[in-house]
Amino acid sequence: MAARSTSKAVIPLLKTSDSGFEKAFAKLLNRREDGQEGVEKTVRRIVDRVRKSGDAELRALTKKFDGASLDEFEVDRAEFEEAGETIDPADRAALGKAAMRVREFHRKRISSSWEIREEGGGTFGTRVRPLHRVGIYVPGGKAVYPSSVIMNAVPASVVEVPEIVMVSPPGPDGKLRPEVLMAAKVAGVHRVFKVGGAQAVAALAYGTETIPRVDKIVGPGNAYVAAAKKMVFGQVDIDSEAGPTEVLVIADRTATPAWLAADLISQAEHDELAQAILITPLKSVATRTQDQVGKQLNTLERAKIAKKSLSTRGAVILAKDMAECIRLANEYASEHLVIASDDAEKISKEITNAGAIFLGHYTPVAVGDYLAGPNHVLPTGGSARFFSPLGVEDFLKRTSVTRFEPPKLRELGLDIIRLAEMEGLTGHGKSVDLRLQKIRRARREREAAREAELEL
């Protein structure tokens, strides 16, 4: 097995030079949860019941899982006003600033409709329109995430989705946290419903007497929420399959171990299943960061959660050089990638797989989590190899538009027929040939008419 630190370090040390490293690293790569059969079976029952019984089943499940007895699911104006009065003005200002910065970033990325015209009467293009109605899932439970409201709802608001619907589990008192409601207000959410879990996803996918059916569901959640989203995909669209959060940090001799430890802990405190990894070619950076992790955990409110995450799913990896650090980072394809180096920009150009890259010593993941501007809804579990951060394009649909006038069909028709015959689809060819016959007849008739005029 790969060598591990002999000290009582919270986070284990792996060395790429050891014989067992590849096996240990493969275990880190395989961070998607196993044993989902029981979850999926439970979620299937919930989804089927909500689809069949609607609001009645939602009330029963909200009472069972959240301890809240609700007559009405939708948040009314009085609850919004109460939230506005309850929240600290400085908190309200911070939420407003975050929404503004995220909005400005996403405004720069909006796709637009386009059209080109070819000689002979060919017109081609794409029409871009927003989805009609989207659903935003905002988790509750162990933590409160007003930032998730902003990151998921603002891009939809930027492209003017006509109706943005938000769901979030209530507390036992039947209310949502005022920070979450205020975030919904500044992010442009139109309607908010107090329901969570797989049952909320089912309600958004199929609609109930109270909750409208949406076209797409986005937002993070626990294993039950993730399974429900996956289950209803096809009935509605969903964002990428979300897993536990993760960070990978590349550090060289210019990095500060105390800051590296804080970066690892900042993700580990989310969840016991979160994953935090440091890769460095310097033994001194590796061991000093391990020591700093232990010291900083003693002051952390969520120390128990972070310690479990770091000890069971985290790692400090001692690589032979920076090139190996980069290779391992690309193989891991992290959700968050921090490059703690004076040469961060240069190193980043060799990174091909990452959800979000944080450059330099003064850019912790937290700035991206809250108000830098780019979205914090990112691909996890290695899916950064093929998925991208949530953005305005996720709330837009594209429709292609084509128009052929007779000269263009005459120009390309025989090639279309030939291609159709290659595939044995003679009906396709016939649909073109019939039109070509009419074009030829019309052409002959025009020529005959001109000859008749000349004879006169």
Residue 134: pLDDT over 60: yes
pLDDT band, very low/low/confident/very high, at 5 (cuts 50, 70, 90): very low
Residue 379 to residues 66, 192, 232, Cα–Cα distance (Å): 28, 26, 19
User: Does the annotation count 421 as an active-site position?
Assistant: no
Q: Give the list of residues 6+ apart from residue 324 with CB closer than 8 angstroms, or none.
A: 16, 281
Average pLDDT over residues 189-207: 97
pLDDT at residue 258, rounded to an integer: 98
**Position 298: which residue type?**
N
Q: From CA 183, how far away is CA 148, in angstroms rounded?
A: 9
Give the bridge partners for 399, in sequence order. Answer: 127
Collapse the DSSP code of 87 into the 3-class scheme (helix H, G, I; strand E, B; otherwise coil) and give the result. Answer: coil
Residue 390 to residues 154, 358, 379, Cα–Cα distance (Å): 11, 17, 9
- Name the E strands within 286-370: 315-318, 334-340, 354-359
**Out of 56-65, 115-124, 355-364, 439-448, which region has the weakest mean confidence (pLDDT)?**
439-448
Residue 6: pLDDT over 70: no
Contact yes or no for 72/283 (Cβ under 8 A): no
User: Does the annotation count 428 as an active-site position?
Assistant: no
pLDDT at residue 318, rounded to an integer: 98
Nearest Cα to Cα of residue 12 among 2, 23, 26, 27: 2
Same fold, 13-30+243-386 and 37-120+129-240: yes
13-30+243-386: CATH architecture? 3-Layer(aba) Sandwich (3.40)
pLDDT at residue 38, rounded to an integer: 85
Q: Give the list of residues 6+ apart from residue 142 with CB closer than 8 angstroms, or none.
A: 271, 305
Contact yes or no for 200/117 (Cβ under 8 A): no
pLDDT tens string 255-304 = 999 999 999 999 999 889 999 999 999 999 999 999 999 999 988 999 99
Contact yes or no for 164/189 (Cβ under 8 A): yes
| Backbone conformation region of residue 424, classed left if phi is above 0, alpha if psi is from -120 to 50, else beta | left
pLDDT band, very low/low/confident/very high, at 4 (cuts 50, 70, 90): very low
37-120+129-240: CATH architecture? 3-Layer(aba) Sandwich (3.40)
pLDDT at residue 271, rounded to an integer: 87
Over the range 108-123, which residues count as b (16 or more CB within 10 Å of their CB) and which as e? Answer: eebeeeeeeeeeeebe
Average pLDDT over residues 107-115: 92
Nearest Cα to Cα of residue 196 among 246, 236, 145: 145
pLDDT band, very low/low/confident/very high, at 3 (cuts 50, 70, 90): very low
* Sign of the CA dihedral with 6 first, then 10, 15, and 20 last: positive
Contact yes or no for 134/161 (Cβ under 8 A): yes
Nearest Cα to Cα of residue 316 among 352, 276, 349: 276
Which helix (H) or strand (E) element contains residue 83? helix 77-86
pLDDT tens string 402-415 = 999 999 999 999 99
The 3-state secondary structure of 185-228, one letter per residue: HHHCCCEEEECCHHHHHHHHHHCCCCCCCCCEEECCCCHHHHHH
Give the bridge partners for 401, in sequence order. Answer: 125
Residue 7: pLDDT over 70: no
Residue 339's φ and ψ, nearest 5 degrees, are -110, 100
**Out of 6-10, 247-251, 432-436, which region has the weakest mean confidence (pLDDT)?**
6-10
Residue 221: pLDDT over 80: yes
Count other Cβ atoms within 10 Å, centred on residue 291: 16
Give the bridge partners for 402, in sequence order. Answer: 124
Q: Give the list of residues 6+ apart from residue 43 with CB closer than 8 angstroms, or none.
A: 198, 224, 227, 228, 231
> In the sheet where 334-340 sits, what is the strand order?
13-15, 315-318, 275-280, 246-251, 334-340, 354-359
Contact yes or no for 120/129 (Cβ under 8 A): no
pLDDT at residue 133, rounded to an integer: 98
pLDDT tens string 350-387 = 999 999 999 999 999 999 999 999 999 999 999 999 99
Active-site residue (options: 301, 336, 350, 428): 336
pLDDT at residue 36, rounded to an integer: 67
pLDDT at residue 447, rounded to an integer: 85
Mean pLDDT score across all residues of the chain = 93
Active-site residue (options: 335, 423, 447, 455): 335
Q: From CA 123, how far away is CA 415, in angstroms rounded?
A: 18
The domain spans of the chain are: 13-30+243-386, 37-120+129-240, 405-455
Q: From CA 341, how far away is CA 255, in angstroms rounded?
A: 6
